Amino acid sequence: MVTEYARNITNPAWLLSPVKRVHGWADDCATPPTAANQVTTDTKFTLDNLAYGAAPTKGAITKVETIKDWNGGTRLYQTTATTVYDAQGRVKSVTDIAGETTTTDYTPAAGDPSPKPSPPTRCCGPTPSSSTPPGARRRKPRTPTCGSPRPRMTRWAAPPACGYPGAARLRSRTPRPADTRTAFPRRCHR
């Protein structure tokens, strides 16, 4: 299988990768085919509505031709697809081998085709103007009853169906240390 490229190394194009032709044959690579039964594939690509093999300006494939027949050492090609692009370089229409055309319309028809990003929406996590998740209830601070050295902190209980990233962390408890007799007497954590 051999791939040929249609390069344009002049400024401002600098196109190195547009494929001009892909062809292969069932014989030694150094010996080109001499009969139709040796050809396995042969496809030519015309770029930017220019003549086949001309240096492309954008690298857009406008016509695809596949080998149809072999006539006395000359390859005969059949057009299998043609493509038309709009001013922004988007595919406007494609015509297949049967002559059927598929057309695409864009909104907006001109200008920037990419949608503008919208501000992120929050399920129920903290908003920039608030440090409390919407719908959260404040838990009552617990006071240690037996002189526990662990400080008590106010936590926010997340609403039950919340999916913001910190919800699971807020509802989980810190695991108790291995030596509970010295740090946390058992009677304080019933």
> pLDDT of 20-56, one tens digit each?
999 988 888 788 888 888 888 999 999 999 999 899 9
Contact 79, 65 (CB under 8 A): yes
The larger pLDDT score, comparing residue 68 to residue 149, is at: 68
**pTM for the complete prediction?**
0.56
Supply 183's token pair.
């740090």
pLDDT at 190: 45
Contact 92, 101 (CB under 8 A): no
In percent, how much of the chain has pLDDT > 70? 58
Whether 156 has a pLDDT exceeding 80, the answer reads: no
pLDDT at 22: 93
pLDDT at 77: 93
Which position has the token pair 């027949």? Answer: 69
Q: State how far the Cα of 87 lies from the Cα of 72, in Å rounded to an integer.
A: 42
pLDDT at 171: 45
Pairing type for strands 137-138 and 156-157 reads antiparallel
CA-wise closest residue to 136 among 120, 125, 152: 125
Residue 150 — pLDDT band, cuts 50, 70, 90? low
Which residues, in sequence order, are CB contacts of 55 under 8 Å at separation 6+?
6, 7, 8, 10, 13, 15
| Dihedral sign of CA atoms 23, 29, 31, 33 in order | negative
* pLDDT tens figures, 60-115: 999 999 999 888 778 899 999 999 999 888 899 999 999 999 999 888 877 766 65
- φ, ψ of residue 160 in degrees (nearest 5): -60, -35
Whether 157 has a pLDDT exceeding 70, the answer reads: no
pLDDT at 184: 47
Residue 146 — pLDDT band, cuts 50, 70, 90? low
The larger pLDDT score, comparing residue 7 to residue 177, is at: 7
> Per residue, what are the HEC states of the chain?
CEEEECCECCCCCCECCCEEEEEEECCCCCCCCCCHHHEEEEEEEEECCCCCCCCCCCCCEEEEEEEEEEECCEEEEEEEEEEEECCCCCEEEEEECCCCEEECCCCCCCCCCCCCCCCCCCCCCCCCCCCCCCCCEECCCCCCCCCCCCCCCCCEECCCCCCCCCHHHHHCCCCCCCCHHHHCCHHHCC
What mean pLDDT, rounded, does the chain reach? 74
